[in-house]
A and B are shown apart, each in its own frame.
Chain A
Amino acid sequence: MGGLCKLIPFKGGSVMTRKIRVVHYLNQFFGQIGGEDKAGMHPMDRAGHVGPGMAFAAALKDQAEIVGTVICGDTYFGENMDTATKEVLDLIAKYEPDLVIAGPAFNAGRYGTACGAVCAAVAEKLQIPVVTGMYHENPGVDMFRKRIHIVETSDSAAGMRQAVPKMAKLALKLAQGEPTDAAVDGYLTRGIRKNYFAKERGSARAVEMLVRKLGGQEFTTEYPMPQFDRVDPSPAVRDMSKARIALVTSGGIVPKGNPDHIESSSASKYGKYDLDGIDVLTAASHQTAHGGYDPVYANDNPNRVLPVDVMRDLERAGAIGELHRYYYATVGNGTSVANAKKYAAAIAKELVEAEVQGVILTST
């Protein structure tokens, strides 16, 4: 259909239509390179579509074509965001795309951050439409929602079949310069106000809304309040040499064998573990239960995530009063914000009762 394809001036004055050129961004997993052991891979590109790109190719039908796929390891991207963004951008630009699709990343934090950063860079530097997809709690959402279109997806790849058609449809709309709407197209609101003429004036709409509210009926606000959840910094520790300091981690360090069976992703619990008499964590005593990063380094030397060895040295040297007897751990991998809040509130209550004066929280 001509209206949905780019019109390209053709030699001789006539026009020919050509398909919209799409580049797809994927991480090492969806790019079919490998799992966490490959998460350190540098960006690379492949002609055509890869992995979920096949579903996108089907959804984009004859209107657009995935001409290339750029794949980058999540850990490489997360640890080198500026360099990686530039490298990925260069690989994408090589294909002279009209449109870039990234992900979907669901609730994968590093992947979502990468998809958001890539899309934002493409939109800014190449000035072409971009679409990605994420679960609303993905940290990439708050980082990039104002700059790019992020289609809301479920929290896991089980939602791929629902996500792809929504993302493809929005991508085609954007590529054609058609108007979009967050509610209709299923993307997360970007905080952009659009002017339009309403049927009723503001006062009438407000009264109608109020009547509905008083009547216990549903109503839709025209101006949702932003949800800022900021916590004021607590006062600093006055005398570190007398302070009791606790270690907490979302990096999944648990005693060997993972006695509480903390799940490797979407953890349903946290653990509280005794450090009494433990001077250093070893490969024999502790391990990680986390399934969202390559566990080799943490299993080899768990102090790389939970620095018990150094805390004991500092305790002996009198730099801190004491290391709190217990440490707390959960797995921060696809864990819902609601659960993380719940675990941390319970942990905080115990830390207050134990008169802990400062906390070092390590994340992977």
Chain B
Amino acid sequence: MVKEIERAGIPVVHMCTVVPISLTVGANRIVPTVAIPHPLGNPALAPDEEKQLRRRLVERALAALQTEVEGQVVFEK
């Protein structure tokens, strides 16, 4: 899905937990996430901390969308 949208000319950032799969499939901008059943959250945290975690991850995704890349890049930070 990432590739087909990217093929249309829109940059896509893939937020996912199993990064090797995303690399194999061919996503170009990848942001690793927390866990498979809750990629953008962590039920062990207090609600406001959890939302802050989500915000940091989304901000990283937005930064990835603003970064020119040549090939596949995993945005770890």
Contact = CB atoms under 8 A, between A and B. Distances in A.
Interface of A: 36, 39, 75, 78-79, 81, 109-110, 113, 139, 142-143, 229-238, 240, 243, 245, 248, 250-251, 293-298, 300-301, 303-307, 309-311, 313-314, 319-320, 330, 332, 340-341, 343-345, 347-349, 351-352, 356-364
Contacts of A303: 40-41, 51, 54
19 contacts: A75-B35, A78-B18, A79-B18, A233-B69, A236-B11, A240-B66, A245-B62, A248-B1, A297-B37, A305-B39, A310-B58, A351-B8, A358-B11, A358-B13, A359-B10, A359-B12, A361-B1, A362-B16, A364-B17
Contact of A352 (B9, B15, B58): B9
Most buried by A among B40, B51, B59, B66: B40
A294 B38 CA distance: 9
Given A235-B68, A237-B66, A304-B41, A360 B61 contact: yes
Contacts of A360: 12-13, 15, 58, 61-62, 65
A359 B5 contact: yes
Nearest to B25: A139
Most buried by B among A142, A309, A314, A360: A360
B70 to A, nearest CB: 7
A234 B1 contact: no
A234 B67 contact: no
A231 B26 contact: yes
A314 B62 contact: yes
Chain B interface size range: 35 or more
Contacts of B76: none
Interface of B: 1-18, 20-22, 24-26, 28-29, 33, 35-41, 43, 50-51, 54-55, 57-59, 61-62, 65-71
Contacts of A139: 21, 24-25
